[in-house]
Every structure is written in C-alpha cells, then in structure tokens.
Amino acid sequence: MLDIQLSTPYSIRELFSQDSFDNSIQTQSIEEKVRLLIIRDLLRIGWEINFKPDRVLITPPVTYDKDVIRSSMQLKRQEIISDNHQWIEQHLNLAKENMADGNLVLESKISPIIEVCETQKQHNIFRIFRYYWSSPYSEYVGRRIKLLIRDDALPNKPLIGIAALGSSIIHIPDRDDWIGWNKKTRTNNLVYAMDAYVLGALPPYNYLLGGKLISYLIASNEVRNIFEEKYNGKVTKISKRVANQLACIFTTSLYGKSSQYNRLNYNSKPLFIPIGNTKGYGTLHLTNETFAAMRELLDVNRIHVTNRFGDGPIWRMRVIRTAADLLNINADFLLRHSFQRGIYVVPLANNFREFLNGIDEKLDNFDYPLSNLVDFWKKRWLFMRKENLKVRDQILRFKPELFDII
C-alpha cells in the first residue's frame, strides 16, 4: 500500500471525482503538485484509493487487464507525440517516401534486406516510424544497433519494418534464474546478450504478418554478423574488453503471451522461448507530466540526478526514486507496481547457456541463413495469409500518402 500525505485543506475525494480528473493539476506548491499527479496517474490505471482527511492510501490491483495497459500506453504515446509533433510533421513525407502501395505489396515476392542505420537520414527514417508504434517511444543506453528491413523485390525498396537491439537490462530475476546466472557470472557475461527493444512491421506488410517475418530475421546469421562486425576490436566502456560474440537475444511482450512470437518455430523447435515475466519495475504507469514535475521538484531543491549515459529508463527511475524519497513516498513500492512483461529468449548457439555461464569460451552458433528463414516464413505464414479476403482488402486500401502517425 502507498501512503501519500497531503497538506492542502481541500476535499481530496471531490478533487479526483470531478470532470477535471484528466486535466493538469493546478497548485502553488510543487511538492503538492507531484503528490497529486502521482495519485491521478495511479487512479487512471485502476489503483484502489482510500481517502483520509490529510492523506490517501492507494493499493495496486493484483493484475492489470489489457485495456488498462493499452489506455496507459496510448496516453503516454500521445504525450510523446505532442512533445515531438513539430519534428514529426517535418519528417512525415520521409516516412511516406519509404512505404509501398498496397497493390504492389500484394504482387511482391517479398525479398527482405537488412540495412543498418548509420547516416542521419537512416536514423530519421527509423525514428519517424518508431512513433507509429502503440507503445511509447523510448531509447536504450549502451550498445545499440538500429535496423531498417526493406523489400528488395520492389523498385523503391520500401520498408517492411524496423528492429533495434540494445544492451540487455542489468537484472531481471526470471531471466537470470533461467540462464543460471549469479551476480558474478551475469556481470561477466551480460555483454554477450542483447535486447530486441523494437521489433515489428509497418503497413501494409503488417497485414501479412510481417511482424513475424521481422522476428525471424532478428535470429539470422546476418544480424549476428552485423553485431560481430560492429563490435569487433571495440573495447567495452565498463569491463574494458572486446566482446563481439552474441549468444542470445531477449525481448519482452507487454501483454504477457505474445501473438507475434507465439508459434514461431524453425527446424522443429521454438525460435522465441517464453522464460518468465518481469517483476513490474518501471515507469510506464507515470505520465511525462508527472515526471517533469518531479524534475522541477528536484531542481527547486538543488538536487541533480546525473544522466551521463543518456535519458533512458534507468535514469528515469533514479529521478522518480529521488523525488519520491524527498516526499516520503515509498519509492520502491511505487516503481515496483508498473506493468509486468512476458520475457522471451532467442538462443543463437547450441551452447549459449554454457557460454553465458563462463563454462565454454567459444560459441557453437546455429546456422540460420536469412534466405532460409524468409522461405520458411512464406510457407508457414505468408501464402495462407494472402488468401484471406479481408486481409487482401486491408492491403489494397493502403496508400502511403494517407499514412499518419497520430
């Protein structure tokens, strides 16, 4: 239970039951504003509230249903789009220029090629399409590889989808237990794993289960080779060593069991293996407005939370924790009750577990040629999908000039 004390002498019950519930909190005190914004954000996602004269006691639900998660994601996504609307408007035509007409896609043989983002234009293309996702835009810190997946079977090589790999999150209990890591082996070997933090298809390829295609491609020899070449000879900042072997890739699903990763098999075995759930630590249940107010609170108190590795999720959690501590709010409880995610692993070698535990020094990699994975996807998913009349109609109605982010 979260205990939030308030000092302003008004009816808290009336404040949060009036029509202005969805509006910004107006108060002279920045401390009071942060407290009220936290209460508002938690009420929006179904926390149970017990009103007292000078405080509220709030209890989280046992689980969050999908509608609550979607609503929260949409709210945060709209905040981010609003903050970046000028950049989005300036680059919307760039997105349209890199998309395909539905008529052409239905006739395409679909021949994916992987393009690594290196130029500013490539990064802009990735960024504009990342705003299209229902989950809010966020960045990873540390190692990052952003990929554009194009259809080489069409003249302008339109985008099928995008993907991105980033340094794995330091500690996820279910993941660590499944691998067999203790703190020492995890610290030594986490660098040999990556997280797929973006993985999906764009219209009209998404109607043809292009998301499953992108998921297959992330396991390919070609992606592993991209990682090995990018970090060959490069010394890591923390452990001061060269680490360019990729043992496996982790990803998460916000709604638990993922329709995109479900039943993704290859060579008679699952490609994406469910291994547990995150504990629900995170910041997605708190809006950007609340986070901005927390930063203002810290500024007023001359407290600076450094972000020398970027403004990623770890830094956001540190800001929230520091602000909550300042207000005598249980920071650990507040951060621990975000949304749990299903965890999936994509092993890339027969001995990935032995390698990640320091038993083997060299990986015995699986052989997953991109062309073989694509052929398998076509036979398993694409050809049957193309026969669906509703799907065909959705594809035929898609025109790049009608594409929008909002």
SS3 track for 64-90: CCHHHHHHHHHHHHHHHHHHCHHHHHH
Rounded to 5°, the CA angle 314-318-324 comes to 140
Q: 287 with 76: CB under 8 angstroms?
A: yes
Q: 353 with 328: CB under 8 angstroms?
A: no
Q: How many domains does the chain have?
A: 2
Whether residues 233 and 361 share a domain: the answer is yes
360 assigned to some structural domain: yes
Computed from CA positions of residues 12, 66, 80, 170, in that sequence, does the dihedral angle turn out positive or negative? positive
Whether residues 263 and 363 share a domain: the answer is yes
pLDDT at 66: 83
328 assigned to some structural domain: yes
405 assigned to some structural domain: no
Residue whose C-alpha is closest to residue 127's, from 119, 118, 114, 137: 137
d(Cα 234, Cα 244) in Å, to the nearest integer?
A: 8
Computed from CA positions of residues 77, 79, 81, 83, in that sequence, does the dihedral angle turn out positive or negative? negative
**Domain final residue pick, 336, 359, 379:** 336
pLDDT at 18: 45
Q: 347 with 364: CB under 8 angstroms?
A: no
Q: Which pair of tokens denotes residue 47?
A: 């926390």
404 assigned to some structural domain: no
Whether residues 206 and 326 share a domain: the answer is no
In the chain, the amino acid numbered 207 is Y
d(Cα 110, Cα 149) in Å, to the nearest integer?
A: 11
d(Cα 155, Cα 107) in Å, to the nearest integer?
A: 12
d(Cα 272, Cα 253) in Å, to the nearest integer?
A: 11
Whether residues 288 and 141 share a domain: the answer is no
Whether residues 215 and 326 share a domain: the answer is no
110 assigned to some structural domain: yes
pLDDT tens for the chain, 406 residues: list them.
888 887 754 545 555 554 444 455 667 789 999 999 999 889 888 888 887 777 888 898 888 888 888 888 888 888 889 989 999 999 999 999 999 999 999 999 999 999 999 999 999 999 999 999 887 777 666 789 999 999 999 999 999 999 999 999 888 999 999 999 999 999 999 999 999 999 999 999 999 999 999 999 999 999 999 999 999 887 766 666 678 999 999 999 877 678 899 889 998 999 999 999 988 888 888 988 999 999 999 999 999 988 755 556 678 889 999 999 999 999 998 988 778 889 999 999 999 999 999 999 999 999 999 999 999 999 999 999 999 999 999 999 999 999 999 7
Whether residues 88 and 110 share a domain: the answer is yes
**Domain final residue pick, 336, 354, 369:** 336
406 assigned to some structural domain: no
Whether residues 132 and 108 share a domain: the answer is yes
324 assigned to some structural domain: yes
Q: 273 with 344: CB under 8 angstroms?
A: yes
Whether residues 202 and 319 share a domain: the answer is no
Q: Which domain holds residue 11?
A: 2-62+281-336
Whether residues 210 and 328 share a domain: the answer is no
Whether residues 267 and 286 share a domain: the answer is no
Whether residues 165 and 293 share a domain: the answer is no
Whether residues 299 and 150 share a domain: the answer is no
